[in-house]
A and B are shown apart, each in its own frame.
Chain A
Amino acid sequence: MSTTQAPERRGALRGIGSARTSTPQNLMVFVLSMALFGLANILLEIIPDVTIGPVDLSVAYFVFVPLTLAALLNPFWAALGAPLGEIVFTDLLMGDFSGLSELEGFIQMFLAIYVAGSVVRNPRSRPQIWLGALLIVGIDKFLSAVVDLAKVWVGVEDAEYVQGLPQSILLLEGVGFGIDLVISGILFGALPAMWLIPALHGRIEPLLGMRPRVPGEPRPGTVPWAGWFVVVAVLASLLSFVFAFLEAWDVSIGSVEADFRGQYGDTFLWVSVGALVVVLALAAILFSVWRRRRADR
């Protein structure tokens, strides 16, 4: 059909298209990730949870869904879309939205998927897929455990002096972490991903108008975001420092007497403001460094 075409076109060639991923393509990955991870979460909503005592034996999420998109298409946009899909499709539309804790879940999941997706450099490499799946669950659950612990530390006065409290919380979080790693990370993460990622490699990209990824090749479009990633990571870790600092302060003051409220409230405020200033300053520095580096390129 096309072999008889003359090599010369009549019209003047005006462009040959660029190799970088374009904004619409990023938007497609974002929407796709949101829709599919949202769907996966609706399914989990229907499956009854099995809990034995305090231990939850349920599947936390279908890790293979965002991992597949992050590994094949674009880790940043897949990481951005997936947790949003969870919030929108299940929490919001099923009437189960929980305000601030959604935000914390979003940050955790975003970091987890972005890091794991960036680790998978070759979509046909099994060890990398395994590592990716375990990283998603590991990072997300670790961060959420830290946040949970922080809540208890902030919420309970002199928490470390309460008999058995630190141990019991650590035990529950630790057991939960292990179970999630096995169920969500391996059974519903690494094993399905090992099959799905190679199966979709080279099939899903043309549907989105993209070129399939060549193993090992760094993806255009992900590099400029590395700076942002660092910013977010530093932000998140500083946030946890705020909690840690509060805890230390609590210890040094020891027992607080009746006029506790005003003092405590004020100091809390100053500590928060201080931490915020540090975070913003760091973010601004990193941002300008990144912009200069990009301008150099």
Chain B
Amino acid sequence: MSLRTQHDVLSVEWIKLELIRTAYSTRGGLFAAMDPRAVIGWYLLMAVAPWLTHNLTTLAALFVLGAVAVALARVGPLVLGLFVIGLGFELIYLALAATLFGGDLTTVVALLEVTAKLGVLSLASLAAFVSLDPEKLSDALLALRFPPAVAFAVSYGYRMMPILVEEFATVVEGYRLRQAPPAGRGLLGWRALVHWVLITIRAFYPIFLNTAKSVRTTVEALEARGFTFATIDPRGRAIRIGSLRFGPRDAAVLAVTALAVACCYLVGATWPVYRG
């Protein structure tokens, strides 16, 4: 048996690191300084644009526009890499399946079209939301008249996640130490797999009860500090979204994007390419 070493995944420390990364990696980039409502508007503009055409030239131009936005938003290489790989694999699988049913090159081109549309959508969401920290998104949702519970949930998740993961890690560790380990690993390690799956599921029994206990305090405290009151009285909402400012920069970005999208369509109309 090989020697044990330290693992750094699914520890509380790991989760805290991930959170700090989402919180801090958002500093910088084009969209980080913008009004979150404008960012959401920008995203909608980019998300709708590709669905109004079947012109491949327009789609290609929109794709390039999305890529430029991603670069301006300073999306990290890891996230971007995952996106590209995901897109590529989806295309390959679809093409393989289509060939199986007697398709030809036109099928692949057809698939290219839908993949390009989904690709533009993904690029837009990457650019917009990687640079939007959860707190700002929460305020934007409130401003856009989402229910307060949704806006609250976004920031509450931020707060609760390390606690829940720590709790879960302790419970699983308890099982790991106290439950007898499987006799052997079995074929392809199936015994070990079953052992871990069972532990993970069983861990939810104490987690349900412990979380229920702590949620009771949380909701009492929410009540005492006016959470329900704020859902009736509009003044709290006004203060919270009062910090949001739709400035000239936001207008400029939206205008430039709208212009760029129009250009994409113009380019498409000038040199149209259609499937088949």
Binds A, one of B65-73, B147-155, B179-187, B239-247: B147-155
Interface pair B101/A27, CB less than 8 Å apart: no
Contact string against B for A residues 27-50, beta-carbon threshold 8 Å, 1 for contact and 0 otherwise = 110111011101110110010000
Is A6 part of the contact surface with B, judged by Cβ < 8 Å? Answer: no
Q: Which residues of A contact B102 (CB under 8 A)?
A: 163-164
In the complex, what distance in Å separates the CA atom of A205 from the CA atom of B117?
A: 48
CB within 8 A of A162: which of B10, B106, B129, B272? B106
Chain A at the B interface: SS class: helix
Is A97 part of the contact surface with B, judged by Cβ < 8 Å? Answer: yes
Is A278 part of the contact surface with B, judged by Cβ < 8 Å? Answer: no
- Least Cβ–Cβ distance between A271 and chain B, in angstroms: 12
Q: Which residues of A contact B272 (CB under 8 A)?
A: 258
Interface pair B209/A200, CB less than 8 Å apart: yes
Q: Which residues of B contact A167 (CB under 8 A)?
A: 101
Contact string against B for A residues 77-108, beta-carbon threshold 8 Å, 1 for contact and 0 otherwise = 00011001100110011110111110000000
In the complex, what distance in Å separates the CA atom of A172 from the CA atom of B228?
A: 46
Q: Which residues of A contact B85 (CB under 8 A)?
A: none
Is A282 part of the contact surface with B, judged by Cβ < 8 Å? Answer: no
In the complex, what distance in Å separates the CA atom of A261 from the CA atom of B272?
A: 11
Between-chain CB contacts (< 8 Å), 6 pairs: A28-B212, A31-B153, A36-B211, A88-B134, A93-B161, A164-B99
In the complex, what distance in Å separates the CA atom of A264 from the CA atom of B10?
A: 50
With contact pairs A53-B93, A93-B19, A164-B107 given, residues A100 and B121 touching in the complex (Cβ less than 8 Å) = yes
With contact pairs A54-B96, A84-B150 given, residues A35 and B164 touching in the complex (Cβ less than 8 Å) = yes
Binds B, one of A152-160, A220-228, A284-292: A152-160
Q: Which residues of B contact A188 (CB under 8 A)?
A: 201
CB within 8 A of A199: which of B160, B205, B213, B275? B205
In the complex, what distance in Å separates the CA atom of A294 from the CA atom of B208?
A: 34
Q: Which residues of B approach A to under 8 Å, CB–CB?
A: 9-10, 15, 18-19, 21-22, 25, 43-44, 47, 51-55, 79, 93-94, 96-104, 106-107, 110-111, 113-114, 117-118, 121-122, 124-125, 128-130, 132, 134, 137, 149-150, 153-154, 156-158, 160-161, 164-165, 168, 200-201, 204-205, 207-209, 211-213, 215-216, 218-220, 222-223, 227-228, 265, 268-269, 272, 274-275
A-B pairs under 8 A by CB, number = 218
Q: Which residues of B contact A164 (CB under 8 A)?
A: 97-103, 107
Chain A residues 170 to 215 lying within 8 A of chain B, measured CB to CB, are 171-172, 188, 192, 196, 199-200, 203-204, 207-209
Known: A32-B215, A172-B94, A208-B212. 5 other contacts (CB 8 A): A54-B94, A92-B134, A162-B107, A207-B209, A256-B54
Q: Which residues of A contact B114 (CB under 8 A)?
A: 151-152, 155-156
Contact string against B for A residues 241-284, beta-carbon threshold 8 Å, 1 for contact and 0 otherwise = 00000000000000010101100110010000000000000000
CB within 8 A of A163: which of B47, B53, B104? B104
Q: Which residues of B contact A93 (CB under 8 A)?
A: 18-19, 22, 134, 157-158, 161
Q: Which residues of A approach B to under 8 Å, CB–CB?
A: 23-24, 27-28, 30-32, 34-36, 38-40, 42-43, 46, 53-54, 62, 64-65, 68, 80-81, 84-85, 88-89, 92-95, 97-101, 151-152, 154-157, 159, 162-165, 167-169, 171-172, 188, 192, 196, 199-200, 203-204, 207-209, 256, 258, 260-261, 264-265, 268
Q: Which of A34, A188, A265 has the most CB of B within 10 A?
A: A34
The 7 closest A-B pairs by CB, nearest first: A164-B101, A164-B103, A168-B97, A54-B93, A88-B157, A155-B114, A99-B125
Interface pair B55/A261, CB less than 8 Å apart: yes
In the complex, what distance in Å separates the CA atom of A260 from the CA atom of B53?
A: 8
Interface pair A46/B9, CB less than 8 Å apart: yes
- Least Cβ–Cβ distance between A259 and chain B, in angstroms: 9
CB within 8 A of B117: which of A53, A155, A209? A155
In the complex, what distance in Å separates the CA atom of A94 from the CA atom of B118?
A: 21
Interface pair A31/B165, CB less than 8 Å apart: no
Q: Which residues of A contact B219 (CB under 8 A)?
A: 24, 27-28, 31
